[in-house]
Structure 1
Amino acid sequence: MQKETHIYGIRAIIEAIESESTIDKVFLQKGLKGDLYRELESLIRKNGINSSYVPIEKLNRLTKNNHQGAVANISPITFYSIEELLEKTEKKETPALFLLLDQLSDVRNFGAIIRTAECTGVDGIIIQKKGAAPVTADTIKTSAGAAFKVPIAKVDHIKDAVFYLQASGIKVVSATEKTDNTIYDVNFKDSIAIIMGAEDRGISPSILKASNYTAKLPLLGEIESLNVSVACAVFLYEAVRQRR
Protein backbone atom coordinates (compact mmCIF):
# COMPACT_ATOMS: atom_id res chain seq x y z
CA MET A 1 0.00 0.00 0.00
CA GLN A 2 1.33 3.43 -0.89
CA LYS A 3 1.87 5.60 2.16
CA GLU A 4 0.67 9.13 2.66
CA THR A 5 3.40 11.66 1.85
CA HIS A 6 3.93 14.98 3.58
CA ILE A 7 5.77 18.00 2.22
CA TYR A 8 6.80 20.53 4.83
CA GLY A 9 8.13 24.06 4.53
CA ILE A 10 6.58 27.04 2.76
CA ARG A 11 9.08 27.20 -0.10
CA ALA A 12 8.90 23.45 -0.74
CA ILE A 13 5.11 23.54 -0.95
CA ILE A 14 5.19 26.53 -3.30
CA GLU A 15 7.56 24.64 -5.59
CA ALA A 16 5.35 21.53 -5.43
CA ILE A 17 2.29 23.55 -6.46
CA GLU A 18 4.17 25.25 -9.30
CA SER A 19 5.41 21.86 -10.55
CA GLU A 20 1.76 20.65 -10.59
CA SER A 21 2.22 17.91 -8.00
CA THR A 22 -1.07 16.32 -6.87
CA ILE A 23 -1.56 18.12 -3.57
CA ASP A 24 -4.60 16.95 -1.68
CA LYS A 25 -4.60 19.40 1.22
CA VAL A 26 -2.41 22.07 2.82
CA PHE A 27 -2.40 22.73 6.56
CA LEU A 28 -1.42 26.31 7.45
CA GLN A 29 -0.48 27.63 10.87
CA LYS A 30 -3.01 30.09 12.28
CA GLY A 31 -1.83 33.67 12.60
CA LEU A 32 1.38 33.27 10.62
CA LYS A 33 2.54 36.28 8.59
CA GLY A 34 5.20 37.14 6.01
CA ASP A 35 5.56 37.65 2.26
CA LEU A 36 6.36 34.01 1.50
CA TYR A 37 3.40 32.82 3.56
CA ARG A 38 1.09 35.21 1.68
CA GLU A 39 2.51 33.95 -1.62
CA LEU A 40 1.63 30.40 -0.60
CA GLU A 41 -1.89 31.44 0.39
CA SER A 42 -2.32 33.14 -2.98
CA LEU A 43 -1.17 30.04 -4.87
CA ILE A 44 -3.53 27.85 -2.86
CA ARG A 45 -6.48 30.08 -3.74
CA LYS A 46 -5.47 30.37 -7.39
CA ASN A 47 -5.22 26.60 -7.83
CA GLY A 48 -8.31 25.76 -5.77
CA ILE A 49 -6.36 23.54 -3.36
CA ASN A 50 -8.10 22.28 -0.24
CA SER A 51 -6.59 23.95 2.84
CA SER A 52 -7.25 24.70 6.49
CA TYR A 53 -5.75 26.88 9.21
CA VAL A 54 -4.67 24.87 12.24
CA PRO A 55 -2.78 25.37 15.53
CA ILE A 56 0.95 24.75 15.48
CA GLU A 57 0.38 21.62 17.60
CA LYS A 58 -1.42 20.00 14.66
CA LEU A 59 1.53 20.68 12.37
CA ASN A 60 3.94 19.33 14.96
CA ARG A 61 1.97 16.08 15.00
CA LEU A 62 2.07 15.83 11.21
CA THR A 63 5.84 16.12 10.99
CA LYS A 64 8.77 16.35 13.37
CA ASN A 65 10.73 18.39 10.85
CA ASN A 66 10.93 22.19 10.64
CA HIS A 67 7.60 22.81 8.90
CA GLN A 68 7.81 26.66 9.00
CA GLY A 69 4.05 26.81 9.52
CA ALA A 70 2.92 24.76 6.50
CA VAL A 71 2.48 21.05 5.77
CA ALA A 72 0.96 19.57 2.61
CA ASN A 73 -0.44 16.13 1.86
CA ILE A 74 0.62 14.70 -1.50
CA SER A 75 -2.20 12.46 -2.69
CA PRO A 76 -1.31 8.77 -3.15
CA ILE A 77 -3.68 8.61 -6.15
CA THR A 78 -4.08 10.50 -9.40
CA PHE A 79 -7.34 12.43 -9.75
CA TYR A 80 -9.38 12.61 -12.96
CA SER A 81 -11.49 15.36 -14.50
CA ILE A 82 -15.24 14.86 -14.77
CA GLU A 83 -14.85 14.83 -18.57
CA GLU A 84 -12.45 11.89 -18.29
CA LEU A 85 -14.91 9.98 -16.11
CA LEU A 86 -17.64 10.37 -18.69
CA GLU A 87 -15.32 9.38 -21.53
CA LYS A 88 -14.63 6.11 -19.72
CA THR A 89 -18.35 5.23 -19.74
CA GLU A 90 -19.10 6.14 -23.37
CA LYS A 91 -18.01 2.74 -24.71
CA LYS A 92 -19.84 0.75 -22.04
CA GLU A 93 -22.99 -1.11 -22.96
CA THR A 94 -24.39 -0.89 -19.43
CA PRO A 95 -25.86 2.29 -17.91
CA ALA A 96 -23.42 4.55 -16.08
CA LEU A 97 -23.37 4.72 -12.29
CA PHE A 98 -21.65 7.67 -10.60
CA LEU A 99 -21.35 8.75 -7.00
CA LEU A 100 -21.08 12.37 -5.85
CA LEU A 101 -20.02 13.28 -2.31
CA ASP A 102 -21.13 16.71 -1.15
CA GLN A 103 -18.65 17.93 1.48
CA LEU A 104 -18.09 14.52 3.07
CA SER A 105 -15.27 15.16 5.55
CA ASP A 106 -14.41 11.96 7.41
CA VAL A 107 -11.55 10.04 5.76
CA ARG A 108 -12.72 6.65 7.08
CA ASN A 109 -16.26 7.16 5.84
CA PHE A 110 -14.72 8.17 2.52
CA GLY A 111 -12.63 5.00 2.43
CA ALA A 112 -15.60 2.78 3.30
CA ILE A 113 -17.66 4.42 0.55
CA ILE A 114 -14.89 3.89 -2.02
CA ARG A 115 -14.74 0.21 -1.05
CA THR A 116 -18.49 -0.22 -1.53
CA ALA A 117 -18.35 1.75 -4.79
CA GLU A 118 -15.76 -0.67 -6.18
CA CYS A 119 -17.84 -3.67 -5.11
CA THR A 120 -20.98 -2.29 -6.78
CA GLY A 121 -19.39 -1.29 -10.08
CA VAL A 122 -19.48 2.48 -9.68
CA ASP A 123 -17.87 4.13 -12.72
CA GLY A 124 -16.45 7.07 -10.81
CA ILE A 125 -16.65 9.17 -7.66
CA ILE A 126 -16.85 12.96 -7.81
CA ILE A 127 -15.78 15.17 -4.92
CA GLN A 128 -15.30 18.90 -4.44
CA LYS A 129 -11.80 20.37 -4.37
CA LYS A 130 -12.42 22.34 -1.20
CA GLY A 131 -13.99 20.92 1.94
CA ALA A 132 -13.91 17.27 0.91
CA ALA A 133 -12.14 14.54 2.85
CA PRO A 134 -8.58 14.12 1.60
CA VAL A 135 -7.27 10.81 0.30
CA THR A 136 -4.92 9.82 3.13
CA ALA A 137 -3.28 6.59 4.25
CA ASP A 138 -6.36 5.99 6.43
CA THR A 139 -8.62 6.44 3.40
CA ILE A 140 -6.60 3.92 1.40
CA LYS A 141 -6.55 1.44 4.28
CA THR A 142 -10.30 1.70 4.95
CA SER A 143 -11.01 1.30 1.24
CA ALA A 144 -9.03 -1.98 1.25
CA GLY A 145 -7.09 -0.64 -1.74
CA ALA A 146 -10.22 0.21 -3.74
CA ALA A 147 -9.06 3.84 -3.96
CA PHE A 148 -6.52 2.65 -6.55
CA LYS A 149 -9.29 1.01 -8.61
CA VAL A 150 -12.21 3.46 -8.64
CA PRO A 151 -11.58 6.68 -10.63
CA ILE A 152 -12.04 9.79 -8.47
CA ALA A 153 -12.58 13.24 -9.96
CA LYS A 154 -12.29 16.63 -8.30
CA VAL A 155 -14.50 19.55 -9.33
CA ASP A 156 -14.73 23.17 -8.21
CA HIS A 157 -18.39 22.81 -7.21
CA ILE A 158 -20.64 19.76 -6.89
CA LYS A 159 -23.55 21.76 -8.30
CA ASP A 160 -21.62 22.35 -11.53
CA ALA A 161 -20.98 18.60 -11.73
CA VAL A 162 -24.72 17.97 -11.34
CA PHE A 163 -25.50 20.22 -14.30
CA TYR A 164 -22.72 18.67 -16.39
CA LEU A 165 -23.97 15.14 -15.72
CA GLN A 166 -27.55 16.10 -16.49
CA ALA A 167 -26.46 17.68 -19.78
CA SER A 168 -24.79 14.35 -20.57
CA GLY A 169 -28.05 12.42 -20.10
CA ILE A 170 -27.41 11.22 -16.56
CA LYS A 171 -30.17 11.62 -13.98
CA VAL A 172 -29.19 12.72 -10.49
CA VAL A 173 -30.75 11.39 -7.27
CA SER A 174 -29.98 12.94 -3.89
CA ALA A 175 -30.07 10.92 -0.69
CA THR A 176 -31.98 13.00 1.83
CA GLU A 177 -34.45 12.61 4.66
CA LYS A 178 -36.26 15.75 3.40
CA THR A 179 -38.51 13.88 0.97
CA ASP A 180 -41.50 11.57 0.92
CA ASN A 181 -39.89 9.28 -1.69
CA THR A 182 -37.97 6.17 -0.69
CA ILE A 183 -35.21 4.51 -2.71
CA TYR A 184 -37.80 1.97 -3.87
CA ASP A 185 -39.63 4.74 -5.76
CA VAL A 186 -36.59 5.59 -7.90
CA ASN A 187 -35.60 3.95 -11.19
CA PHE A 188 -31.90 3.10 -10.94
CA LYS A 189 -31.81 1.15 -14.20
CA ASP A 190 -30.90 4.15 -16.34
CA SER A 191 -27.62 6.05 -16.22
CA ILE A 192 -27.68 7.73 -12.84
CA ALA A 193 -25.57 9.60 -10.30
CA ILE A 194 -26.22 9.28 -6.58
CA ILE A 195 -25.36 12.17 -4.25
CA MET A 196 -24.49 11.57 -0.60
CA GLY A 197 -24.20 14.52 1.77
CA ALA A 198 -21.95 15.57 4.64
CA GLU A 199 -22.10 13.63 7.89
CA ASP A 200 -23.52 16.52 9.90
CA ARG A 201 -25.62 18.61 7.53
CA GLY A 202 -26.50 16.43 4.56
CA ILE A 203 -26.76 17.73 1.00
CA SER A 204 -26.73 21.45 0.28
CA PRO A 205 -30.25 22.88 -0.41
CA SER A 206 -29.21 24.25 -3.82
CA ILE A 207 -27.99 20.80 -4.89
CA LEU A 208 -31.20 19.16 -3.65
CA LYS A 209 -33.16 21.64 -5.76
CA ALA A 210 -31.06 20.88 -8.86
CA SER A 211 -31.46 17.09 -8.54
CA ASN A 212 -33.83 15.09 -10.71
CA TYR A 213 -34.95 12.93 -7.80
CA THR A 214 -34.69 12.84 -4.02
CA ALA A 215 -34.97 9.64 -2.01
CA LYS A 216 -34.62 8.42 1.56
CA LEU A 217 -34.21 5.14 3.37
CA PRO A 218 -37.16 3.89 5.42
CA LEU A 219 -36.10 3.97 9.07
CA LEU A 220 -38.19 1.80 11.36
CA GLY A 221 -36.36 2.34 14.65
CA GLU A 222 -36.01 5.34 16.95
CA ILE A 223 -32.64 6.53 15.61
CA GLU A 224 -33.26 9.06 12.84
CA SER A 225 -30.30 8.42 10.56
CA LEU A 226 -27.66 5.94 9.42
CA ASN A 227 -23.93 6.43 9.08
CA VAL A 228 -23.34 7.96 5.64
CA SER A 229 -21.18 5.06 4.43
CA VAL A 230 -23.89 2.57 5.43
CA ALA A 231 -26.63 4.64 3.77
CA CYS A 232 -24.51 4.90 0.63
CA ALA A 233 -24.09 1.13 0.54
CA VAL A 234 -27.87 0.63 0.68
CA PHE A 235 -28.42 3.08 -2.18
CA LEU A 236 -25.76 1.45 -4.33
CA TYR A 237 -27.02 -2.06 -3.73
CA GLU A 238 -30.55 -1.00 -4.60
CA ALA A 239 -29.10 0.11 -7.95
CA VAL A 240 -27.38 -3.28 -8.28
CA ARG A 241 -30.61 -5.12 -7.40
CA GLN A 242 -32.64 -3.23 -10.00
CA ARG A 243 -30.04 -3.74 -12.71
CA ARG A 244 -29.73 -7.51 -12.25
Structure 2
Amino acid sequence: MLLYGRNPVIEALQGGRVSELLLARGVEDAFAEQVQSLAREAGVRVRWSPRIELDQLAGTTQHQGVLAEVEDLAWATVDDILDRAEARGEALLIVLLDGVTDPRNFGAIIRSAEVLGAHGVVVEERRSAPLSPVVAKTAAGATAHLPVAQTKNLPRLIDALKKEGVWIYGAAGEAAQDVSRTDFSGRAALVIGAEGEGMRRLVREKCDVLVSIPVRGEIQSLNASVAAGILLYEATRSRGKKT
Protein backbone atom coordinates (compact mmCIF):
# COMPACT_ATOMS: atom_id res chain seq x y z
CA MET A 1 0.00 0.00 0.00
CA LEU A 2 1.21 3.52 -0.78
CA LEU A 3 1.06 5.90 2.16
CA TYR A 4 1.46 9.64 1.72
CA GLY A 5 1.71 12.70 3.94
CA ARG A 6 4.56 13.69 6.23
CA ASN A 7 3.22 12.65 9.64
CA PRO A 8 1.88 9.25 8.49
CA VAL A 9 5.14 8.46 6.70
CA ILE A 10 7.25 9.36 9.75
CA GLU A 11 5.04 7.15 11.96
CA ALA A 12 5.35 4.29 9.48
CA LEU A 13 9.16 4.65 9.33
CA GLN A 14 9.41 4.69 13.10
CA GLY A 15 7.16 1.64 13.26
CA GLY A 16 9.32 -0.33 10.82
CA ARG A 17 6.53 -0.67 8.25
CA VAL A 18 8.18 1.00 5.22
CA SER A 19 9.86 -0.98 2.44
CA GLU A 20 10.65 1.95 0.11
CA LEU A 21 10.54 5.74 0.39
CA LEU A 22 9.87 8.14 -2.48
CA LEU A 23 10.73 11.82 -2.18
CA ALA A 24 9.83 14.51 -4.70
CA ARG A 25 12.80 16.25 -6.26
CA GLY A 26 13.14 19.69 -4.79
CA VAL A 27 12.11 18.70 -1.25
CA GLU A 28 15.17 20.10 0.48
CA ASP A 29 14.07 20.91 4.01
CA ALA A 30 14.40 19.61 7.56
CA PHE A 31 11.70 17.04 6.88
CA ALA A 32 13.67 15.53 3.99
CA GLU A 33 16.72 15.25 6.23
CA GLN A 34 14.65 13.66 8.99
CA VAL A 35 13.01 10.98 6.83
CA GLN A 36 16.29 10.14 5.09
CA SER A 37 17.92 9.66 8.48
CA LEU A 38 15.06 7.43 9.64
CA ALA A 39 15.22 5.49 6.38
CA ARG A 40 18.97 4.90 6.77
CA GLU A 41 18.46 3.64 10.31
CA ALA A 42 15.75 1.25 9.11
CA GLY A 43 17.66 0.11 6.02
CA VAL A 44 14.95 1.51 3.74
CA ARG A 45 15.76 2.47 0.16
CA VAL A 46 15.14 6.15 -0.70
CA ARG A 47 14.26 7.08 -4.26
CA TRP A 48 14.01 10.63 -5.61
CA SER A 49 11.36 11.11 -8.30
CA PRO A 50 9.70 13.99 -10.19
CA ARG A 51 6.77 15.42 -8.27
CA ILE A 52 4.43 14.52 -11.13
CA GLU A 53 5.27 10.84 -10.61
CA LEU A 54 4.24 11.11 -6.96
CA ASP A 55 1.05 12.89 -8.06
CA GLN A 56 0.21 9.98 -10.35
CA LEU A 57 1.07 7.26 -7.84
CA ALA A 58 -0.84 8.87 -4.98
CA GLY A 59 -3.76 9.97 -7.15
CA THR A 60 -3.56 13.38 -5.51
CA THR A 61 -1.29 16.41 -5.32
CA GLN A 62 -1.73 16.54 -1.53
CA HIS A 63 1.07 14.07 -0.73
CA GLN A 64 3.43 16.75 0.69
CA GLY A 65 6.32 15.49 -1.41
CA VAL A 66 6.63 12.02 0.10
CA LEU A 67 5.29 8.53 -0.53
CA ALA A 68 6.08 5.30 1.29
CA GLU A 69 5.47 1.72 0.26
CA VAL A 70 4.13 0.06 3.42
CA GLU A 71 2.46 -3.15 4.42
CA ASP A 72 -1.31 -2.99 4.22
CA LEU A 73 -3.11 -1.72 7.31
CA ALA A 74 -4.52 -4.66 9.22
CA TRP A 75 -7.79 -4.83 11.10
CA ALA A 76 -7.57 -5.59 14.81
CA THR A 77 -10.25 -7.55 16.68
CA VAL A 78 -12.70 -6.36 19.29
CA ASP A 79 -10.87 -8.60 21.79
CA ASP A 80 -7.66 -6.66 21.02
CA ILE A 81 -9.44 -3.48 22.11
CA LEU A 82 -10.83 -5.05 25.29
CA ASP A 83 -7.41 -6.48 26.13
CA ARG A 84 -5.81 -3.05 25.61
CA ALA A 85 -8.07 -1.47 28.22
CA GLU A 86 -7.48 -4.34 30.66
CA ALA A 87 -3.71 -4.23 30.20
CA ARG A 88 -3.72 -0.54 31.04
CA GLY A 89 -5.94 -1.04 34.06
CA GLU A 90 -8.47 1.43 32.64
CA ALA A 91 -12.22 1.39 32.23
CA LEU A 92 -13.00 0.61 28.60
CA LEU A 93 -13.68 3.54 26.27
CA ILE A 94 -14.55 2.36 22.77
CA VAL A 95 -15.98 4.14 19.71
CA LEU A 96 -18.57 2.34 17.55
CA LEU A 97 -19.25 3.75 14.09
CA ASP A 98 -22.59 3.05 12.44
CA GLY A 99 -22.33 3.81 8.75
CA VAL A 100 -19.44 6.31 8.62
CA THR A 101 -18.33 5.75 5.02
CA ASP A 102 -16.34 8.92 4.30
CA PRO A 103 -12.63 7.98 4.62
CA ARG A 104 -11.64 11.45 5.87
CA ASN A 105 -14.24 11.36 8.62
CA PHE A 106 -13.16 7.82 9.47
CA GLY A 107 -9.51 8.86 9.69
CA ALA A 108 -10.29 11.97 11.73
CA ILE A 109 -12.30 9.90 14.22
CA ILE A 110 -9.42 7.44 14.61
CA ARG A 111 -7.08 10.36 15.26
CA SER A 112 -9.37 11.91 17.90
CA ALA A 113 -9.91 8.52 19.54
CA GLU A 114 -6.16 7.93 19.86
CA VAL A 115 -5.37 11.45 21.07
CA LEU A 116 -8.19 11.48 23.64
CA GLY A 117 -7.44 8.08 25.15
CA ALA A 118 -10.00 5.69 23.67
CA HIS A 119 -8.93 2.07 23.50
CA GLY A 120 -10.15 1.42 19.96
CA VAL A 121 -12.64 2.02 17.18
CA VAL A 122 -15.05 -0.55 15.73
CA VAL A 123 -16.94 -0.41 12.44
CA GLU A 124 -19.46 -2.72 10.83
CA GLU A 125 -17.97 -4.72 7.99
CA ARG A 126 -20.41 -3.65 5.27
CA ARG A 127 -21.07 -0.12 6.44
CA SER A 128 -17.68 1.53 6.64
CA ALA A 129 -14.90 3.04 4.58
CA PRO A 130 -11.97 0.62 4.18
CA LEU A 131 -8.62 1.13 5.89
CA SER A 132 -7.08 3.05 3.00
CA PRO A 133 -4.19 5.50 2.44
CA VAL A 134 -6.69 8.37 2.73
CA VAL A 135 -7.81 7.10 6.14
CA ALA A 136 -4.20 6.67 7.25
CA LYS A 137 -3.21 10.16 6.10
CA THR A 138 -6.19 11.81 7.79
CA ALA A 139 -5.49 9.86 10.97
CA ALA A 140 -1.97 11.38 10.90
CA GLY A 141 -0.26 8.25 12.19
CA ALA A 142 -2.91 7.21 14.72
CA THR A 143 -3.58 3.96 12.83
CA ALA A 144 -0.15 2.78 13.99
CA HIS A 145 -1.12 3.16 17.65
CA LEU A 146 -4.87 2.50 17.96
CA PRO A 147 -6.66 -0.81 17.26
CA VAL A 148 -9.38 -0.46 14.61
CA ALA A 149 -11.65 -3.48 14.35
CA GLN A 150 -14.52 -4.74 12.24
CA THR A 151 -17.65 -6.54 13.33
CA LYS A 152 -20.13 -8.34 11.11
CA ASN A 153 -23.13 -7.11 13.08
CA LEU A 154 -23.00 -3.93 15.17
CA PRO A 155 -26.30 -4.44 17.06
CA ARG A 156 -25.16 -7.92 18.07
CA LEU A 157 -21.81 -6.52 19.25
CA ILE A 158 -23.65 -3.90 21.33
CA ASP A 159 -25.64 -6.70 23.01
CA ALA A 160 -22.40 -8.55 23.78
CA LEU A 161 -20.77 -5.41 25.22
CA LYS A 162 -23.80 -4.71 27.41
CA LYS A 163 -23.55 -8.21 28.86
CA GLU A 164 -19.96 -7.31 29.83
CA GLY A 165 -21.15 -4.24 31.74
CA VAL A 166 -20.41 -1.67 29.02
CA TRP A 167 -22.76 1.34 28.98
CA ILE A 168 -23.77 2.41 25.47
CA TYR A 169 -24.02 6.15 24.70
CA GLY A 170 -25.49 7.08 21.33
CA ALA A 171 -25.01 10.49 19.70
CA ALA A 172 -28.36 11.94 18.59
CA GLY A 173 -28.95 15.60 17.78
CA GLU A 174 -32.47 15.62 19.18
CA ALA A 175 -31.64 13.88 22.48
CA ALA A 176 -32.60 15.72 25.66
CA GLN A 177 -29.49 14.59 27.55
CA ASP A 178 -26.68 17.17 27.26
CA VAL A 179 -23.34 15.46 26.69
CA SER A 180 -21.58 17.93 28.98
CA ARG A 181 -23.83 16.83 31.88
CA THR A 182 -23.38 13.11 31.26
CA ASP A 183 -21.48 10.78 33.56
CA PHE A 184 -19.16 8.62 31.43
CA SER A 185 -17.47 6.83 34.32
CA GLY A 186 -17.28 3.07 34.04
CA ARG A 187 -16.96 1.01 30.88
CA ALA A 188 -18.37 3.03 28.00
CA ALA A 189 -19.02 2.80 24.27
CA LEU A 190 -19.75 5.91 22.18
CA VAL A 191 -21.88 5.30 19.08
CA ILE A 192 -21.57 7.71 16.15
CA GLY A 193 -23.98 7.40 13.23
CA ALA A 194 -23.71 8.33 9.60
CA GLU A 195 -23.88 11.97 8.57
CA GLY A 196 -27.41 12.98 7.67
CA GLU A 197 -29.00 9.66 8.62
CA GLY A 198 -27.52 9.23 12.07
CA MET A 199 -27.75 5.84 13.75
CA ARG A 200 -29.99 3.12 12.39
CA ARG A 201 -33.19 2.53 14.33
CA LEU A 202 -32.07 -0.82 15.75
CA VAL A 203 -28.73 0.60 16.88
CA ARG A 204 -30.44 3.60 18.45
CA GLU A 205 -32.87 1.39 20.36
CA LYS A 206 -30.01 -0.62 21.85
CA CYS A 207 -28.30 2.46 23.34
CA ASP A 208 -28.65 2.93 27.09
CA VAL A 209 -28.52 6.72 26.79
CA LEU A 210 -28.87 9.12 23.88
CA VAL A 211 -26.82 12.31 24.24
CA SER A 212 -26.69 15.51 22.24
CA ILE A 213 -24.23 18.33 21.70
CA PRO A 214 -25.90 21.72 22.28
CA VAL A 215 -25.80 23.91 19.16
CA ARG A 216 -26.46 27.63 18.92
CA GLY A 217 -26.12 28.32 15.20
CA GLU A 218 -28.65 28.02 12.40
CA ILE A 219 -27.17 24.72 11.23
CA GLN A 220 -28.42 22.06 13.62
CA SER A 221 -25.92 19.27 13.04
CA LEU A 222 -22.17 18.68 13.18
CA ASN A 223 -19.81 16.75 10.94
CA ALA A 224 -19.52 13.15 12.25
CA SER A 225 -15.82 13.43 13.04
CA VAL A 226 -16.30 16.74 14.87
CA ALA A 227 -19.16 15.27 16.90
CA ALA A 228 -17.03 12.25 17.76
CA GLY A 229 -14.18 14.49 18.94
CA ILE A 230 -16.50 16.47 21.21
CA LEU A 231 -18.05 13.31 22.68
CA LEU A 232 -14.62 11.80 23.31
CA TYR A 233 -13.42 14.97 24.97
CA GLU A 234 -16.48 15.11 27.23
CA ALA A 235 -16.08 11.43 28.09
CA THR A 236 -12.45 11.83 29.13
CA ARG A 237 -13.23 15.06 30.97
CA SER A 238 -16.01 13.34 32.91
CA ARG A 239 -13.70 10.48 33.82
CA GLY A 240 -11.04 12.94 34.93
CA LYS A 241 -13.47 14.46 37.41
CA LYS A 242 -14.16 11.02 38.88
CA THR A 243 -10.47 10.31 39.40
TM-score (norm. length: structure 1): 0.68
Cα deviation, residue 199, structure 1: 1.3
Task: Tell me the amino acid that sits aligned with residue 125 of structure 2.
Answer: K
Q: 1:87 aligns with which of 83, 86, 90?
A: 83
* 184, 205, 217: which one aligns with 1:209: 205
Q: Which residue of 2 aligns with 1:159?
A: 155
Within a 5 Å distance, the mapping from 1:191-230 to structure 2 comes to: 191-230=187-226
Q: Which residue of 2 aligns with 1:103?
A: 99
Q: Which residue of 2 aligns with 1:137?
A: 133
Q: Give ranges in structure 2 of 5+ residues lacking alignment.
A: 4-57, 60-69
1:186, 1:213 within 8 Å by CA — same for their partners in 2? Answer: no
Indicate the RMSD between aligned Cα atoms, in angstroms: 2.1
For the Cα contact (< 8 Å) 1:75–1:136, is it kept in 2? Answer: no
Q: Using the TM superposition, give the Cα deviation of residue 184 of structure 1 relative to its aligned residue in structure 2, in angstroms.
A: 2.4
- Match for residue 125 of structure 1? 121
Structure 1 equivalent of residue 227 of structure 2: 231
Structure 1 unaligned blocks of 5 or more: 5-61, 64-73
Counterpart-to-counterpart distance in 1, 2:71 and 2:224: 23
1:3 corresponds to: 2
CA contact (8 A) 1:140 1:147 kept: yes
Q: Which residue in 2 is equivalent to 1:112?
A: 108
| Number of equivalences | 177
Identify the match of residue 169 of structure 2 among 170, 173, 180.
Answer: 173
1:18 aligned residue: none
* Letter paired with 1:82: V
| Aligned sequence identity (%) | 30
Runs of 4+ aligned structure 1 residues displaced above 3 Å come to none
Give SS of 1:125's match.
strand
For 1:16-31, list aligned pairs within 5 A: none
Does structure 1 conserve the Cα–Cα contact (< 8 Å) formed by 2:73 and 2:132? no
Mean alpha-carbon deviation: is it higher for 77-86 or for 134-143? 77-86
Give SS of 1:91's match: helix
